[in-house]
Amino acid sequence: MNKLGHLLLGAISGLVLIMLTNLKFNWFNFDGIMSVVFIIIIIYIYSLLCDIDAKSSTIVWTFIPIGLASAIFGFVINNQVYLLCGIGLIAITFVAAQFLSHRGFAHSILFGIVVSLPLIYVSYEYAALAFVCFYSHLAADGEYLKLT
């Protein structure tokens, strides 16, 4: 499946999760525009994140400029958090694209859990949304039950 297909399927899966959990559990309280922006960012990143193992993928070419901009911004304003996060994002993206085989570990449920779990520190709703969008990519690629 191509980038647009993965994004569309991720968005549909994410929106279905948001609607169902909002009706049943009152998740995803939309406090303002930043909540909506954060949801859009999660859907975009996690719908494409499986392909971090492909050098020419959209997610790689999204993360590299973001990491570079963050590192430069951190250097200019003398903020080590932005600087180190930017350098870390570039390094992780480079290593994944360079050394992971395509449709290997990055196309697994375990990887999806590992990359979605840190969002629990923001909210469990966002972590669940991230995993659902990630899993939609696996499902579209026919990797329904690939654990590692």
Per-residue pLDDT averaged across 133-144, rounded? 94
Full DSSP string of 64-131: HHHHHHHHHHHHHTT-HHHHHHHHHHHHHHHHHHHHSPTTSGGGSHHHHHHHHGGGGGT-HHHHHHHH
The per-residue pLDDT for 49 is 97
pLDDT in tens, 38-62: 999 999 999 999 999 999 999 999 9
Quote the mean pLDDT of the chain: 94
**pLDDT higher for 115 or 103?**
115
Predicted TM-score (pTM) of this structure: 0.92
- Among 8, 67, 11, which residue's Cα sits nearest to residue 39? 11
CB 144 within 8 A of CB 91: no
pLDDT-derived band at 32, boundaries 50, 70, 90: confident
The per-residue pLDDT for 56 is 93
CB 71 within 8 A of CB 80: no
The per-residue pLDDT for 129 is 98
pLDDT of 146 strictly over 90: no
Q: What is the token pair recorded at 106? A: 């990055």
Q: Which residues of 6-19 are buried (b: 16+ CB within 10 A; e: fewer)?
A: bbebbbebbeebbe
> Exposed, middle or buried by CB within 10 Å (0-12, 13-18, 19+), for 93?
buried
